[in-house]
Amino acid sequence: MKNLILVFIGGGTGSIIRFLLGKWLNNQNTGIPYGTFAANVIGSFLIGIILGYLTKNESISQGTMLLLATGFCGGFTTFSTFAYESHVFLKSGDFISFATYTIGSIVLGFSAVFLGMWLIKFT
């Protein structure tokens, strides 16, 4: 039961912060949903740091990992919204935004995980 509560608290917190980030960045009338983009890249970086730290030190408890990685990062990042927004670009025929958003999200998301883990490795 404790683990479920930790995931619930972390996920709720991450979701609220993602919502606020989206409200702030997605209202720029640029077409690109920068809030979702930022949440996914930042969340990827954070999970890289968290899991990199766990791999290096093995000192993060299971509860802390569930709270931060599974809960917070899981609630903060959003693959489903990314997929929907990509679908909207395709449906509207905006192939440039689709390609920019999709490729940028994947490349920067992976890069952010690797960067987070790399930074922890050398600290």
- Answer whether 15's CB lies under 8 Å from 75's CB: yes
Residue 26 and residue 35: Cα distance in Å, rounded? 5
Residue type, 7: V
CA dihedral 103, 106, 109, 113 (to 10 degrees): -130
Closest CA to 32 of 94, 113, 108: 94
77 is known to lie in a ligand binding site: yes
pLDDT tens digit at each of 123 positions of the chain:
999 999 999 999 999 999 999 999 987 667 789 999 999 999 999 999 998 988 888 777 889 999 999 999 999 999 999 999 999 999 999 999 999 999 999 999 999 999 999 999 887
The whole model's pTM is what?
0.89
Is residue 12 marked as binding? no
